[in-house]
Amino acid sequence: MQPDSASMHQNPAPSALDVAVVQFAPGTDPSANLAALREHVRVAGERGAKVVIAPEYSMFAVSRLDERVVAAAEPLTGPFVTGLGAIAREFGVHLVAGIVEEVAPGADRIRNTLVALAPDATLVARYRKVHLYDAFGHLESDIVEPGEIETPATFVVDDVTFGMQTCFDLRFPEGVRRVAAAGAQVLVLPAQWIPGPSKVDQWTTLLRARAIENTMYVAAADQCAPRGAGASMIIDPTGGVLAELGDEPGVLTAGIDLEQLAAVRTTNPSLALRRFTITERVPE
């Protein structure tokens, strides 16, 4: 199915800034993945999006991580990120996507990294996944080096602040709360949410919960079948779903309305009322 023919529900209200979420099925050919992503970004740009979010592992995707992922890893200056920058420049958007980042030449592990490229092709933010997917029979930590605890990665487009988390991070509300506390008004969440019993229900529930408890927009880009569960979404600060997909490829667009965000945070000042801070847990 072509990305501009996917069935979806969208919010028709006017907005200050339109964002798009790309749902597609990357494979093991980074060049082919880049070409497929370019077509989706073209559609998003034609719909007026200024920020486009693609899934986790957009560069190279397999059902289970192994030595193939290590062999495919590239530095942030490598051809895939360079290609993402070229797409961002061509269509005049900020583009966020998940890559397989090289730790060091010859290393036996990789980093699961999000990059954000500006319309001038510069790298404006990067986030290395902190919570690795060691659950549901998978051991991401066998192949992936966890990211260090750093100041939340954010970038600003037209006075809207975006923060980034990845896939399994969604299950850790304190991580998203740190992003909100750092000033993010939109959570960008690329994922390869592995299909399984109740997984879509958990995904959609957690996405809406993160939006509600942090009074922020959430733009979640999942891979579609066969390696992802789909169900990409854009959610408003009340937990309302502005746009959603099933498990097919497609492009979602919706608006970020800062006036609505301010009204929600005035009515429900949960961020201002919180009584607890978040501290790093030292692994045993």
Active site residues: 56, 129, 167
What's the rounded Cα separation, in Å, for the pair 34 and 14? Answer: 31
Using CA atoms, how far apart are residues 237 and 37, in angstroms rounded to an integer? 28
Sign of CA dihedral 196, 98, 40, 44: positive
The SS3 assignment for 13 reads coil
Tell me the CA distances in angstroms from 58 to 72, 165, 178, 216, 236, one per residue in order: 12, 15, 25, 25, 25
H or E segment to which residue 259 belongs: helix 258-267
Quick one: CA dihedral 177, 179, 180, 186, positive or negative?
Answer: negative
Identify residue 81 by its one-letter amino acid code: V
CA atoms within 13 A on the CB side of 213: 16
